């Protein structure tokens, strides 16, 4: 696989930390919104409860908060690595931890169903949620600036997605 971050321009890599900082400044609950959208996309609320019954609103909110915190920590780590090293692969421990925890078989509370095709679909659901929420929070009057930022964000998200799929698919029995 080609590392998409290696083909990102210096400008894109330079602006990513600013984009991430602006996202969190405008919406402190950004990752919660992403995780809520992701959970709804995965349509696994019954399976997540482990009982086959729909999860209560409280349990659902607790799960979303927990996953949102993990997602924010991962993105913070990746953005920090990009800021310092201009690449994602040297800072991949954040991705590895996130991919493994999100796909743990011993853990019943998991975003990932079994099977590689479903794993990819679930990660694409995360990417769609991240892009949707970013676009919804972006308030720029200049259409060209807005489109440029959305393109840079998408490029970053799909580079991250490529690594998440790679890590979660590499050792499915260990994730």
| Residue 86: CATH number of its domain | 1.10.490
Higher-scoring residue by pLDDT: 137, 52: 137
Residue 113 CA to residue 137 CA, distance in Å, equals: 30
Residue 57 CA to residue 19 CA, distance in Å, equals: 32
Is 175 part of any domain? Answer: no
Is 21 part of any domain? Answer: yes
Is 12 part of any domain? Answer: yes
Is 35 part of any domain? Answer: yes
Is 107 part of any domain? Answer: yes
Number of domains making up the chain: 1
65-86 in b/e burial notation, b at 16+ Cβ within 10 A?
eebbebbbebbebbbebbeeeb
Q: What is the per-residue pLDDT across 100-130, written as a single tens digit (0 to 9) for each?
A: 665 544 333 344 445 555 555 677 888 898 9
Read off the tokens for 8.
């990102």
Residue 138: other Cβ atoms inside 10 A: 17
- Whole domain around residue 146: which residue ranges? 4-170
Q: What is the per-residue pLDDT across 93-102, written as a single tens digit (0 to 9) for each?
A: 667 667 766 5
Is 108 part of any domain? Answer: yes
Q: Decide if pLDDT at 55 tops 70.
A: no
């Amino acid at each position: 696989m080609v590392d998409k971050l290696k083909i990102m321009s210096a400008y894109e890599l330079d602006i990513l930390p600013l984009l991430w900082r602006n996202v969190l400044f405008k919406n402190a609950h950004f990752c919660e919104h992403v995780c809520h959208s992701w959970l709804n996309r995965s349509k696994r609320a019954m399976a997540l409860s482990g009982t086959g019954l729909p999860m209560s609103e409280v349990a659902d909110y607790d799960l979303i908060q927990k996953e949102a915190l993990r997602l924010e920590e991962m993105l913070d780590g990746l953005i920090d690595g990009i800021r310092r090293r201009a690449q994602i692969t040297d800072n991949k421990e954040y991705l590895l931890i996130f991919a493994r925890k999100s796909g743990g078989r011993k853990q019943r509370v998991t975003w990932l169903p079994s099977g590689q095709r479903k794993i990819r679909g679930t990660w694409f659901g995360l990417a769609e949620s991240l892009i949707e929420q970013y676009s919804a929070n972006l308030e720029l009057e200049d259409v060209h600036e807005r489109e440029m930022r959305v393109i840079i964000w998408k490029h970053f998200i799909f580079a991250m997605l490529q690594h998440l799929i790679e890590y979660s698919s590499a050792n499915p029995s260990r994730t």
